[in-house]
Protein backbone atom coordinates (compact mmCIF):
# COMPACT_ATOMS: atom_id res chain seq x y z
CA UNK A 1 0.00 0.00 0.00
CA UNK A 2 1.96 3.01 -1.27
CA UNK A 3 0.79 6.44 -2.35
CA UNK A 4 2.98 8.70 -4.45
CA UNK A 5 4.29 11.65 -2.45
CA UNK A 6 3.32 10.15 0.92
CA UNK A 7 5.03 7.77 3.31
CA UNK A 8 4.38 4.04 2.84
CA UNK A 9 1.28 3.12 4.81
CA UNK A 10 2.69 -0.25 5.87
CA UNK A 11 6.17 -1.80 6.10
CA UNK A 12 7.69 -5.24 5.86
CA UNK A 13 7.83 -6.66 9.40
CA UNK A 14 11.20 -7.26 11.02
CA UNK A 15 12.05 -10.60 12.57
CA UNK A 16 11.66 -9.50 16.20
CA UNK A 17 8.54 -10.90 17.85
CA UNK A 18 7.61 -7.43 19.18
CA UNK A 19 8.01 -5.62 15.83
CA UNK A 20 5.09 -3.24 15.62
CA UNK A 21 3.48 -0.71 13.29
CA UNK A 22 1.30 1.93 14.86
CA UNK A 23 -0.94 4.83 13.88
CA UNK A 24 -2.12 7.61 16.18
CA UNK A 25 -4.60 10.45 15.84
CA UNK A 26 -5.13 13.26 18.35
CA UNK A 27 -7.29 16.38 18.24
CA UNK A 28 -8.78 19.06 20.46
CA UNK A 29 -12.02 20.96 19.77
CA UNK A 30 -12.34 24.13 21.83
CA UNK A 31 -15.83 24.91 20.54
CA UNK A 32 -17.24 21.61 21.81
CA UNK A 33 -14.89 21.24 24.77
CA UNK A 34 -13.91 17.83 23.43
CA UNK A 35 -10.47 16.24 22.94
CA UNK A 36 -9.54 12.78 21.74
CA UNK A 37 -6.77 10.35 20.97
CA UNK A 38 -6.77 6.98 19.26
CA UNK A 39 -4.17 4.36 18.34
CA UNK A 40 -4.11 1.35 16.07
CA UNK A 41 -1.18 -1.03 16.53
CA UNK A 42 -0.21 -4.26 14.80
CA UNK A 43 2.31 -6.97 15.74
CA UNK A 44 2.23 -9.35 12.78
CA UNK A 45 4.76 -11.77 14.32
CA UNK A 46 2.30 -12.29 17.18
CA UNK A 47 -0.85 -12.07 15.04
CA UNK A 48 -1.98 -9.23 17.28
CA UNK A 49 -3.97 -6.10 16.58
CA UNK A 50 -4.94 -3.55 19.22
CA UNK A 51 -6.68 -0.23 19.48
CA UNK A 52 -7.59 2.34 22.08
CA UNK A 53 -9.74 5.45 22.01
CA UNK A 54 -9.92 8.16 24.66
CA UNK A 55 -12.44 11.01 24.57
CA UNK A 56 -12.16 13.82 27.12
CA UNK A 57 -15.70 15.15 27.46
CA UNK A 58 -16.95 18.69 28.18
CA UNK A 59 -18.08 17.85 31.74
CA UNK A 60 -14.54 16.81 32.72
CA UNK A 61 -15.15 13.06 32.46
CA UNK A 62 -13.37 10.66 30.12
CA UNK A 63 -14.70 7.87 27.92
CA UNK A 64 -12.26 5.07 27.13
CA UNK A 65 -12.01 1.90 25.09
CA UNK A 66 -9.17 -0.59 24.62
CA UNK A 67 -9.12 -4.00 22.94
CA UNK A 68 -6.71 -6.59 21.59
CA UNK A 69 -7.61 -9.21 19.01
CA UNK A 70 -6.10 -11.40 16.32
CA UNK A 71 -5.14 -9.42 13.22
CA UNK A 72 -7.83 -9.32 10.55
CA UNK A 73 -6.96 -7.32 7.47
CA UNK A 74 -3.50 -5.84 8.12
CA UNK A 75 -1.61 -4.88 5.98
CA UNK A 76 -4.41 -4.46 3.42
CA UNK A 77 -6.71 -2.73 5.93
CA UNK A 78 -5.94 -0.76 9.10
CA UNK A 79 -8.67 -1.91 11.46
CA UNK A 80 -9.11 -3.64 14.81
CA UNK A 81 -11.99 -4.08 17.27
CA UNK A 82 -14.33 -1.58 15.62
CA UNK A 83 -11.70 1.10 14.87
CA UNK A 84 -10.64 1.89 11.29
CA UNK A 85 -7.96 4.26 9.97
CA UNK A 86 -8.18 4.65 6.19
CA UNK A 87 -6.00 6.74 3.93
CA UNK A 88 -7.73 7.99 0.81
CA UNK A 89 -6.06 8.41 -2.64
CA UNK A 90 -5.96 12.22 -2.24
CA UNK A 91 -3.87 11.93 0.95
CA UNK A 92 -6.74 12.59 3.36
CA UNK A 93 -7.68 10.07 6.06
CA UNK A 94 -11.01 8.75 7.32
CA UNK A 95 -11.35 7.52 10.90
CA UNK A 96 -14.35 5.54 12.13
CA UNK A 97 -15.33 3.71 15.30
CA UNK A 98 -18.41 1.95 16.58
CA UNK A 99 -18.59 0.45 20.07
CA UNK A 100 -19.29 0.93 23.76
CA UNK A 101 -16.96 2.99 25.93
CA UNK A 102 -16.49 3.17 29.69
CA UNK A 103 -17.16 6.63 31.12
CA UNK A 104 -15.25 7.67 34.26
CA UNK A 105 -15.96 10.96 36.02
CA UNK A 106 -12.35 11.60 37.08
CA UNK A 107 -9.81 10.90 34.26
CA UNK A 108 -7.10 10.16 36.85
CA UNK A 109 -9.17 7.13 37.93
CA UNK A 110 -9.32 5.63 34.46
CA UNK A 111 -6.13 3.48 34.73
CA UNK A 112 -7.67 1.71 37.76
CA UNK A 113 -11.03 0.64 36.33
CA UNK A 114 -9.96 -2.98 35.78
CA UNK A 115 -9.15 -3.44 39.44
CA UNK A 116 -12.09 -1.28 40.55
CA UNK A 117 -14.97 -1.41 38.01
CA UNK A 118 -17.17 0.66 40.35
CA UNK A 119 -15.30 3.74 39.05
CA UNK A 120 -17.19 3.36 35.75
CA UNK A 121 -20.21 5.66 35.83
CA UNK A 122 -21.67 4.48 32.49
CA UNK A 123 -21.09 2.30 29.45
CA UNK A 124 -22.04 4.55 26.55
CA UNK A 125 -22.55 3.67 22.89
CA UNK A 126 -20.11 5.71 20.80
CA UNK A 127 -19.80 6.32 17.09
CA UNK A 128 -17.05 8.34 15.43
CA UNK A 129 -16.67 9.46 11.81
CA UNK A 130 -13.90 11.96 11.08
CA UNK A 131 -12.17 13.25 7.95
CA UNK A 132 -8.54 14.34 8.28
CA UNK A 133 -7.55 16.89 5.60
CA UNK A 134 -3.79 17.66 5.83
CA UNK A 135 -2.48 21.21 5.52
CA UNK A 136 1.21 20.24 5.64
CA UNK A 137 3.37 17.48 4.13
CA UNK A 138 4.41 14.56 6.31
CA UNK A 139 7.56 15.14 8.37
CA UNK A 140 9.93 12.28 9.28
CA UNK A 141 12.06 13.03 12.33
CA UNK A 142 15.27 11.26 11.34
CA UNK A 143 15.91 13.75 8.52
CA UNK A 144 17.49 16.13 11.04
CA UNK A 145 18.69 13.90 13.86
CA UNK A 146 22.31 13.45 14.90
CA UNK A 147 23.66 9.85 14.78
CA UNK A 148 23.63 9.42 18.57
CA UNK A 149 20.18 10.94 18.91
CA UNK A 150 18.93 8.70 16.11
CA UNK A 151 20.25 5.62 17.88
CA UNK A 152 18.45 6.59 21.10
CA UNK A 153 15.35 7.51 19.12
CA UNK A 154 15.11 3.99 17.68
CA UNK A 155 13.96 2.81 21.08
CA UNK A 156 10.56 4.21 20.06
CA UNK A 157 10.69 2.95 16.44
CA UNK A 158 12.77 2.97 13.26
CA UNK A 159 10.93 5.79 11.44
CA UNK A 160 8.49 8.33 12.76
CA UNK A 161 6.14 10.52 10.68
CA UNK A 162 3.94 13.43 11.77
CA UNK A 163 1.29 15.38 9.89
CA UNK A 164 -1.17 18.11 10.94
CA UNK A 165 -4.60 18.63 9.46
CA UNK A 166 -8.07 20.09 9.81
CA UNK A 167 -10.60 17.57 11.02
CA UNK A 168 -14.32 17.54 10.25
CA UNK A 169 -16.97 15.05 11.21
CA UNK A 170 -19.22 13.83 14.01
CA UNK A 171 -18.82 11.99 17.29
CA UNK A 172 -21.76 10.73 19.35
CA UNK A 173 -21.41 9.64 22.98
CA UNK A 174 -24.69 8.32 24.34
CA UNK A 175 -27.25 11.09 23.73
CA UNK A 176 -24.61 13.73 23.06
CA UNK A 177 -23.67 14.58 19.48
CA UNK A 178 -20.54 16.64 18.72
CA UNK A 179 -20.04 18.12 15.27
CA UNK A 180 -16.38 18.95 14.54
CA UNK A 181 -15.69 21.77 12.08
CA UNK A 182 -12.11 22.59 11.00
CA UNK A 183 -10.61 21.26 14.24
CA UNK A 184 -6.81 21.06 14.28
CA UNK A 185 -5.40 17.59 14.80
CA UNK A 186 -2.31 15.52 14.15
CA UNK A 187 -1.51 11.98 13.10
CA UNK A 188 1.57 9.93 13.96
CA UNK A 189 2.90 6.82 12.19
CA UNK A 190 5.84 4.67 13.25
CA UNK A 191 7.20 1.16 12.85
CA UNK A 192 9.89 -0.96 14.50
CA UNK A 193 10.55 -2.46 17.92
CA UNK A 194 9.57 -0.40 20.95
CA UNK A 195 12.40 -1.12 23.35
CA UNK A 196 11.86 0.55 26.70
CA UNK A 197 14.91 -1.13 28.32
CA UNK A 198 16.98 1.50 30.16
CA UNK A 199 14.45 4.23 29.29
CA UNK A 200 13.63 6.37 32.30
CA UNK A 201 11.04 8.55 30.58
CA UNK A 202 9.51 9.27 27.19
CA UNK A 203 7.78 12.60 26.64
CA UNK A 204 5.77 13.69 23.62
CA UNK A 205 3.62 16.79 23.22
CA UNK A 206 1.58 18.35 20.44
CA UNK A 207 0.64 22.01 20.92
CA UNK A 208 -1.47 23.78 18.31
CA UNK A 209 -2.13 27.52 18.42
CA UNK A 210 -3.64 27.79 14.95
CA UNK A 211 -3.04 26.53 11.42
CA UNK A 212 0.06 28.69 11.07
CA UNK A 213 1.74 27.99 14.40
CA UNK A 214 2.24 24.63 16.12
CA UNK A 215 5.02 22.92 18.05
CA UNK A 216 5.82 19.25 18.66
CA UNK A 217 8.47 18.70 21.39
CA UNK A 218 9.61 15.15 22.16
CA UNK A 219 12.26 13.52 24.34
CA UNK A 220 13.63 10.13 25.36
CA UNK A 221 15.49 10.10 28.68
CA UNK A 222 17.72 7.09 29.39
CA UNK A 223 18.49 5.74 32.84
CA UNK A 224 22.18 6.67 32.42
CA UNK A 225 21.23 10.34 32.07
CA UNK A 226 21.51 10.67 28.29
CA UNK A 227 18.64 12.49 26.65
CA UNK A 228 17.58 12.85 23.05
CA UNK A 229 15.40 15.90 22.70
CA UNK A 230 14.17 18.12 19.92
CA UNK A 231 11.25 20.18 18.73
CA UNK A 232 9.48 20.50 15.42
CA UNK A 233 7.92 23.93 14.88
CA UNK A 234 5.49 24.82 12.12
CA UNK A 235 5.23 28.52 11.31
CA UNK A 236 3.87 29.90 8.05
CA UNK A 237 6.76 32.42 7.79
CA UNK A 238 9.55 30.32 9.27
CA UNK A 239 9.32 26.95 7.55
CA UNK A 240 13.00 26.58 6.72
CA UNK A 241 14.17 27.77 10.13
CA UNK A 242 11.57 25.55 11.78
CA UNK A 243 12.90 22.50 10.00
CA UNK A 244 16.44 23.23 11.17
CA UNK A 245 15.18 23.62 14.72
CA UNK A 246 14.71 19.86 14.93
CA UNK A 247 18.32 19.02 15.77
CA UNK A 248 17.99 16.99 18.96
CA UNK A 249 20.66 17.69 21.52
CA UNK A 250 22.08 14.59 23.19
CA UNK A 251 23.64 15.29 26.55
CA UNK A 252 24.16 13.71 29.95
CA UNK A 253 21.96 15.04 32.71
CA UNK A 254 23.02 12.84 35.62
CA UNK A 255 22.28 15.53 38.20
CA UNK A 256 19.18 16.93 36.53
CA UNK A 257 15.70 15.73 37.51
CA UNK A 258 14.17 13.74 34.68
CA UNK A 259 11.09 15.93 34.80
CA UNK A 260 13.26 18.91 33.86
CA UNK A 261 14.08 19.12 30.16
CA UNK A 262 16.02 21.83 28.39
CA UNK A 263 15.48 22.57 24.71
CA UNK A 264 18.66 23.63 22.97
CA UNK A 265 18.73 25.39 19.62
CA UNK A 266 21.97 26.15 17.86
CA UNK A 267 21.48 28.46 14.84
Other Cβ atoms within 10 Å of 53 Cβ, number: 25
130/173 Cα distance (integer angstroms)? 14
Of the candidates 53, 64, 67, 55, which has an alpha carbon nearest to the alpha carbon of residue 24?
53
Task: Determine which of 25-29, 37-41, 125-129, 212-216 has the lowest per-residue pLDDT on average.
Answer: 212-216
Percent of the chain whose predicted confidence (pLDDT) is above 70: 83
151/47 Cα distance (integer angstroms)? 28
Q: What is the pLDDT of residue 241?
A: 41
Q: What is the pLDDT of residue 230?
A: 67
pTM of this prediction? 0.84
Burial 69-84 (b: 16+ CB within 10 A, else e): eebeebbeebbbbbbb
159/248 Cα distance (integer angstroms)? 15
208: left (phi over 0), alpha (psi -120 to 50) or beta: beta
Q: Domains for the chain: give ranges and CATH numbers.
A: 19-252 (2.40.370.10)
pLDDT, tens digit (0-9, with 9 covering 90-100), for 162-196:
899 999 999 999 999 999 999 999 999 999 998 77
pLDDT, tens digit (0-9, with 9 covering 90-100), for 146-157:
777 777 777 777
Residue 107 has pLDDT above 90, yes or no: yes
154/141 Cα distance (integer angstroms)? 11
91/114 Cα distance (integer angstroms)? 38
245/233 Cα distance (integer angstroms)? 7
120/198 Cα distance (integer angstroms)? 35
* pLDDT grade for 113, boundaries at 50, 70 and 90: very high
Q: What is the pLDDT of residue 200?
A: 80
List residues bridging with 24 in a β-sheet. 39, 188
Q: What is the pLDDT of residue 159?
A: 84
Helix (H) or strand (E) holding 93: strand 93-104
Compute and round to an integer the Cα radius of gyration of the chain: 19
pLDDT, tens digit (0-9, with 9 covering 90-100), for 194-251:
877 778 888 888 888 888 788 877 788 888 878 777 666 665 554 444 444 444 444 3
pLDDT, tens digit (0-9, with 9 covering 90-100), for 50-101:
999 999 999 999 999 999 999 888 999 999 999 999 999 999 999 999 999 9
| Mean of all residue pLDDT scores within the chain | 83
Of the candidates 207, 215, 212, 216, which has an alpha carbon nearest to the alpha carbon of residue 237?
212
Residue 62, CA distances (Å) to 50, 126, 186, 206 in order: 20, 13, 20, 19
117/229 Cα distance (integer angstroms)? 38
Considering only residues 217 and 261, tell me which one the structure prediction assigns the higher pLDDT. Answer: 217
Amino acid sequence: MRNKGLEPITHKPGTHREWNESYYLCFSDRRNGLSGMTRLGFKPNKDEGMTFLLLFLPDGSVAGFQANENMDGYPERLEAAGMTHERRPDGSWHYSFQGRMAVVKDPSDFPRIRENPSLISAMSPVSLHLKFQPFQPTYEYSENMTPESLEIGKKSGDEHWEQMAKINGEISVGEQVFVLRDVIGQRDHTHGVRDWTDVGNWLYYVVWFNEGLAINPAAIVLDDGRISIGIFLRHHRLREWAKRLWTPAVSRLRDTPKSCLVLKHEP
